[in-house]
Structure 1
Amino acid sequence: MKKMFTLRGVSNCGKSSKVKDIANWILANYPHAINHGIDFTKGDISGVLEVNKVKIGFVAAGDDLSCVLGNDYILDVHNDIDIIINSCRTKGNPRKHLEVNYNFSTGWLVKNIFVTKYEPSNPSIESIRDLKIMEELKSWLTGLEKL
């Protein structure tokens, strides 16, 4: 079963940066990983990393439906993706698209990870939040092997 890890939250809460951070973590910890099209100089990344035989798609943009359709696009290009890590708003058409098209009945195990936005911003609490999110994603991804 394929897996989708979706970082969900309101605008400007750090969803996209965490998608980018986990992709960078994979590259740092799996130096033999192959980068299929991710340009890290851009704000919102999109593309695939391949670790051993595991393909992980990344779609950091998730603010509107056209952004979320990036998941469909990378699957069209790399139809053998095993995992997608993406972002999405908490409501509206982007969330509905993911729920309808990526679910257990369509062959996806979905894990939503909520990114809380603090108003006013509180860097110390946000750093604890970010650490917990990264540790959760790392725990899902550690030992990337596929037989």
Structure 2
Amino acid sequence: MSAYRGLDEDGSIAVEFAILVPAFVLLIAVAAVVGRQTVAQTAIEGAAHDAARAASISRTAATAQARGDEAARSVLEDHGLHCDPVTITVDTGQFARPVGQPAAVTATVSCSVAFSDIAVPGMPGNRTLSATFTSPLDVYRSRS
């Protein structure tokens, strides 16, 4: 005869449920934050790449600035990424180099991605992500 004969396990499932559900919800929230951050980083890298490429095929530094900014904003919009704030910097300083010398354009895109809609205690409300890409200028094409 067992010493535990009169004890039953009523309520044990409720205790397990109360312990495991919050942990599971936290795991899902953390996965959502990591997923959003990964998608945002990919979009920002694409924006920096397209900005540098659009700027590098321009003939003037002023046009390169405008086209780079436009290209980066377009990529971010296409990915549905709403940055607050977004900073796009297109370095066109090497446009002044004479034809025949190597030169490049560098684009940097920084974006503050919000996580406020995913309420996880201890997680930041937003995170600033950035990417930089450099694209060469054609060595033998005129530029100003």
- Which TM class, normalised by the smaller chain length? under 0.3
Bigger fraction of residues in helix: 2
- TM-score in terms of structure 2 length: 0.27
Computing the radius of gyration over CA atoms, which structure comes out larger, 1 or 2? 2
Bigger fraction of residues in strand: 1
